[in-house]
A and B are shown apart, each in its own frame.
Chain A
Amino acid sequence: MLLNIKDLHVSIGGKEILKGFNLGVNKGEVHAIMGPNGTGKSTLAAAITGREGYEVEKGTIEYKGEIINDQAPDERANNGIFLSFQYPVEIPGVSMTNFMRTALNAQREHQGLDPVPASEFLKLMEANKKLVDIHSKLTNRSVNEGFSGGEKKKNEIFQMAMLQPQLAVLDETDSGLDIDALKVVARGVNALRSENNGFVVITHYQRLLDYIVPDFVHVMYDGRIVKSGTKGLAHELEEKGYDWITQQLDYKTV
């Protein structure tokens, strides 16, 4: 199994957000995580990628057979875990080109490889820019600085294409995208889907899943998965709304 999360409890500043979360992702699978706001979807993304301040109180995150609870974020990244950020960060003065080269070389160093030769790097950049319709101009600019919302999200997928992760977590990649940008992003993701990698697609809306078709859909509520199914579940949610599930649950817990 590529990713195996068992009974995960995660708290931020003493407040428990994930409360016994379980998820298994095999290679070649796309899992969609849906759910209303404030149920812990982004916390899940942060926990998988090892963000500081997200305390694992209990349970395990297993990646490629190894428990990574205590692994540093950069080590997880270099082992093939990628996060497409909901809010990509601006880094003034650092060009996208330089940023990407630094990241790629960090990965290669981790694998015991020499830095990427300049010509090969440039070819790779060009090919992946085309994949997500990114203007050449953008890569000369500073990381995410002055990028529109759509450009930022495309840029995340571009970076994913450059780094070729084995496990990609997409955190609300569809938020703030118009339909054209959404299609471009989905095209990028679909081009990268293979038998060797897995995706966890976090989204609030079913819309994205028309373009990135998931193998499994999970509904998250109050820090855990409360319902799982295939892509049909997403459509059902679209029709009936989250209340359909949450009301049943709240009723039970009262």
Chain B
Amino acid sequence: MEEEKRKNDVLEEVTSSEYKYGFVTDIETEHAPKGLNEDIIRYISAKKNEPEWMLEFRLKAYRHWLTLEEPDWALVDYPKIDFNDIIYYAAPKKKKELESLDQVDPELIDTFNKLGISLEEQKRLSGVAVDAVIDSVSVKTTFQDTLAKHDIIFCAMSEAVQNHPELVRKHLASVVPYTDNYYAALNTAVFSDGSFCYIPKGVRCPVELSTYFRINAANTGQFERTLIVAEEGSYVSYLEGCTAPQRDENQLHAAIVEIVAMADAEVKYSTVQNWYPGNKEGKGGIYNFVTKRGICKGDRSKISWTQVETGSAVTWKYPSCILKGDDSIGEFYSVAVTNNFQQADTGTKMIHLGKNSKSTIISKGISAGKSNNTYRGLVQISKKAENSRNFSQCDSLLLGDQCGAHTFPYINTSNETSIVEHEATTSKISEDQLFYCQQRGVDTEKAIGLIVNGYAKEVLNKLPMEFAVEAQKLLAITLEGSVG
């Protein structure tokens, strides 16, 4: 019917706004030749001036990777990746060591401005310490002085390998071993940079730490690695954002994030994932195959993942918590939006090992266009995890009638004193809701924004202020709550 068509047109218009970050920056890069072999790994390691143990570690991972098969259990469909057709190392050419922002390539600064993250401004106004990773290397970490005062280490992973080898050796791959999965092995072999963050005992990090990831060069994969260590009684809130240029070919992003929280430590990790999702016909876009895991190692420690996933052509990502300490807490709050031909298979794993450990999972999937959105989650309660609790809520919202929403909750309980609760709903934006808003003078576009915002509110509220704003904009949403 005519109306039906018009409504679908509006839905499409609202949900298919153009990708804003699709520009390419003309920065001179140096890069490795295409392909993956031991020489490439040696090349990367040499570029980073790495110690022998690191190279050995990479090679071990690579040899293991060769024995593995690409996983195919996720509910996503994409052509086989030719791992020899990828450039594994690309870096903006450095003229010399950078001492201050003034020395950063003006093209780079321009890129950051386009991204809406003027490093200068961020530095001054919001008090967020930013580490920016372009392609394979970390370009600039801000706010060092403030952090140094508290003995907080926040630097590029490659710097950490040089300057804090004992910490890196102790914790790297302690949460995600290279044997964990296909992409973890690949990342371990070829990772080029990322952020390292160390919060000493009893320190409450006074600023939000933030990393911006940007793939710029063509035919390049991005394999960053982030490691956060929170010592006893410390606290840190960490933000991660990412964008990429608009390109017709698919690009691979296979990252690892590891978090270690000691007794009474708390780590809050927030992501706004906005990699290029491909065009409206499903051409191009990032393959986002990421392993994120944290361990609540000490008693009463807490790790909280919040993610707003709007980008990437294909997403395969399960930020997880190993709740080893007694009374430890794991949280996962997620909004995943898929549109056009995007596919997302995302969720979490909560592994309860410690007594009285608690976990909360709130997942909100929003699918539009011809996309597919899957929640996949595991709640595992081990024998010793007495009186553990989990609460999971997985909601799916459908816009239009050509998209899919799927939920795969796995629950595995070996302890009778534990309580696991799971709730799931699937809903459509109803015509009744839309008409109700319209009858109050709100046009369809704003009405959809309002309804979607309301639907995702529980998760958006968990984001730090700076990110919440960006996330709300990303969801094509009018601002809520500045009154009352």
Contact = CB atoms under 8 A, between A and B. Distances in A.
A53 B1 CA distance: 9
Interface string B435-454: 11111111110100011011
A52 B7 contact: yes
A93 B440 contact: no
B71 interface: no
A163 B1 CA distance: 33
A77 B440 contact: yes
A121 B439 contact: no
Interface in A57-106: 72-74, 77-78, 82-83, 85, 87-89, 91-95, 97-99, 101-103, 106
The 9 closest A-B pairs by CB, nearest first: A93-B454, A94-B454, A97-B484, A103-B440, A93-B457, A73-B438, A77-B441, A106-B441, A89-B436
B451 A94 contact: yes
B442 A74 contact: yes
A142 interface: yes
A49 interface: yes
Interface size range of chain B in the complex: 20 to 34
Contacts of B166: none
The CB with the most chain B CB atoms within 10 A, among A83, A99, A121, A125, is that of A99
Contacts of B484: 95, 97-98, 101, 122, 125, 139-140
Interface stretch (B198-206, B216-224, B367-375, B426-434): B426-434
Interface residues of A, number: 38
Contacts of B480: 94-95, 98
Nearest to B456: A93
B366 to A, nearest CB: 12
B441 A118 contact: no
Contacts of A91: 433, 436-437, 450-451, 454
A106 B449 CA distance: 14
B443 A106 contact: yes
Q: Chain A interface secondary structure, helix, strand, loop or mixed? A: helix
Given A74-B439, A93-B454, A163-B440, 11 more contacts: A73-B438, A74-B437, A74-B441, A82-B439, A87-B432, A91-B451, A93-B458, A98-B483, A121-B483, A122-B483, A125-B484
B84 interface: no
11 contacts: A52-B7, A73-B435, A74-B443, A77-B441, A83-B439, A87-B432, A97-B484, A98-B484, A99-B437, A102-B440, A102-B450
B446 A52 contact: no
Interface of B: 1, 3, 7, 430-433, 435-444, 446, 450-451, 453-458, 478, 480-484
A52 B3 contact: yes
Given A49-B439, A74-B442, A89-B436, A99 B483 contact: no
Interface string A136-164: 00011010000000000000000100010
A159 to B, nearest CB: 7
B453 A94 contact: yes
A14 B457 CA distance: 40
A53 B3 contact: yes
A135 interface: no
A227 interface: no
Given A89-B433, A95-B481, A103 B442 contact: yes
Given A91-B450, A102-B450, A118 B482 contact: yes
B483 A85 contact: no
A159 B440 contact: yes
B433 A99 contact: no
A43 interface: no
A110 interface: yes
A130 interface: no
B453 A93 contact: yes
A203 interface: no
B454 A74 contact: no
Given A110-B441, A163-B440, A102 B446 contact: yes
Interface of A: 49, 51-53, 72-74, 77-78, 82-83, 85, 87-89, 91-95, 97-99, 101-103, 106-107, 110, 118, 121-122, 125, 139-140, 142, 159, 163
Contact of B439 (A77, A92, A110, A125): A77
B456 A102 contact: no
The CB with the most chain A CB atoms within 10 A, among B430, B432, B437, B446, is that of B437
The CB with the most chain B CB atoms within 10 A, among A73, A92, A142, is that of A73
The CB with the most chain A CB atoms within 10 A, among B7, B442, B446, is that of B442
Contacts of A82: 439
A85 B436 contact: yes
Nearest to A98: B480
A248 to B, nearest CB: 36
B441 A163 contact: yes
Contacts of B1: 53
B458 A73 contact: no
Given A95-B480, A98-B480, A101-B483, A89 B441 contact: no
Nearest to A79: B441
Contacts of A51: 435
The CB with the most chain A CB atoms within 10 A, among B7, B441, B484, is that of B441
B454 A106 contact: no
Contacts of B446: 102, 106
A74 B482 CA distance: 24
Given A91-B450, A102-B446, A102-B450, A97 B436 contact: no
A97 B480 CA distance: 9
Contacts of B437: 74, 91, 99, 103
A163 to B, nearest CB: 7
Contacts of A72: 438, 443
B478 A102 contact: yes
Contacts of A125: 484
A74 B444 contact: yes
Contacts of B444: 74
A30 B439 CA distance: 21
Contacts of A95: 480-481, 484
Nearest to A73: B438
A140 B454 CA distance: 13
A49 B1 CA distance: 20
A87 B435 CA distance: 12
